[in-house]
């Protein structure tokens, strides 16, 4: 049973560029959440997708946007990258009605 | 504001030296309290979910407990492979399944 997968594993971008990160949820899961984790900090909630719609959003600017596809996979897009966007981006999946979220390995983004 | 605070920030123990990690929470209606383990550069690995005060769960050398204001992760006779960052998180009754995380406790077990 495949767990949560994310791609790419690492990414280097320059300020002002745009980036797309991808996530495939654990088998049987229909809900995807995205988190940003700065070095030495706990993950911060960005947003959650269910039935291809954004259900809840954390305190992140509109530069952060997402999408969920009919097969439940998801993308996170970040526009106009800033140095402060450098972080580990984590995807977590769960099923609607469940409580526990399972995390993928993350994508390490470095903005230069 | 919903908040989760972990202490200590870092803890260094000798192999076999038992201890506890603390997680205090101030949230508007707790739905679940979670413990995750995170190794450097990797995603958090699920350990436990606790739902109500008085609940306890165990897995190998780890035991998690929950009161109305805090949770403890007890580590009994730890081994070097237990070295990791341990994250505590809460999810709320209201709203979606958003996790509110603490900053983590970085645990090092010396052989």
Q: What is the pLDDT of residues A39-51, one digit of tens each?
A: 999 999 999 999 9
**Most distant CA atoms of chain A, gap in Å:** 40
Degrees (nearest 5) of the Cα angle A25, A63, A108? 50
- Give pLDDT tens digits along chain A (112 positions): 679 999 999 999 999 999 999 999 999 999 999 999 999 999 999 999 999 999 999 999 999 999 999 999 999 999 999 999 999 999 999 987 678 999 999 999 999 9
**pLDDT band at residue B24 under the 50/70/90 scheme:** very high
In the block, which residue shows the tokens 């106009």? A80
Burial class of A51 by CB neighbour count within 10 A (0 to 12, 13 to 18, 19+): exposed
Chain A residues in contact with B96 by the CB 8 A cut-off are: 48, 50, 55-56
CB neighbour list of residue A40: distance below 8 Å, 6 or more residues apart: B103
Lookup: tokens for B81 = 């492979």
Distances (CA, A) of B81 to A55, A59, A102, B21, B62: 38, 36, 21, 17, 13
Residue A110: per-residue pLDDT: 98
Nearest chain B CA: its distance from A57 CA (Å): 9
User: Which of A42, A48, A50 minimises the CB distance to B101?
Assistant: A42
Backbone φ and ψ for A93, nearest 5 degrees, come out as -125, 155
Nearest chain B CA: its distance from A17 CA (Å): 24
Residue B28: per-residue pLDDT: 86
pLDDT digits (tens, 9 = 90+) for A67-86: 999 999 999 999 999 999 99
Picking from A30, A12, A16, A10, the residue whose alpha carbon sits closest to that of residue A71 is A30
Q: Are A55 and B96 an interchain contact pair (Cβ–Cβ within 8 Å)?
A: yes
SS (H, E, C) B33-102: EEEEEECCCCCCEEEEEECCCCCEEEECCEEEEECCCEEEEEECCCCHHHCEEEEEEEEECCCCCCEEEC
Distances (CA, A) of B72 to B4, B23, B45, B104: 13, 6, 17, 13
């Amino acid at each position: 049973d495949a767990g949560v997968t994310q791609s790419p594993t690492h990414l280097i971008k320059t300020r002002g560029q745009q980036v797309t990160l991808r996530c495939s949820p654990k088998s049987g899961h229909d809900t995807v959440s995205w988190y940003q984790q700065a070095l030495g900090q706990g993950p911060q909630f960005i947003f959650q997708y269910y039935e291809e719609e954004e259900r809840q959003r954390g305190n992140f600017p509109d530069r952060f946007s997402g999408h969920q596809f009919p097969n439940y996979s998801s993308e996170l897009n970040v526009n106009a990258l800033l140095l402060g966007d450098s972080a580990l981006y984590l995807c977590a999946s769960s099923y609607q009605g469940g409580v526990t979220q399972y995390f993928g390995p993350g994508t390490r983004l470095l903005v230069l | 504001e919903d908040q989760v605070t972990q202490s200590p920030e870092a803890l260094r123990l000798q192999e076999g030296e038992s201890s506890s990690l603390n997680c205090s929470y101030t949230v508007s209606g707790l739905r679940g309290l979670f413990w995750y383990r995170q190794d450097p550069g990797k995603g958090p690995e699920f350990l436990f979910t606790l739902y109500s005060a008085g609940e306890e769960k165990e897995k190998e050398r780890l035991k998690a407990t929950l009161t109305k204001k805090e949770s403890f992760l007890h580590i009994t006779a730890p081994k070097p492979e237990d070295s990791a960052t341990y994250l505590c998180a809460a999810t709320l009754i209201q709203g979606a399944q958003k996790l509110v995380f603490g900053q983590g406790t970085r645990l090092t077990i010396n052989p």
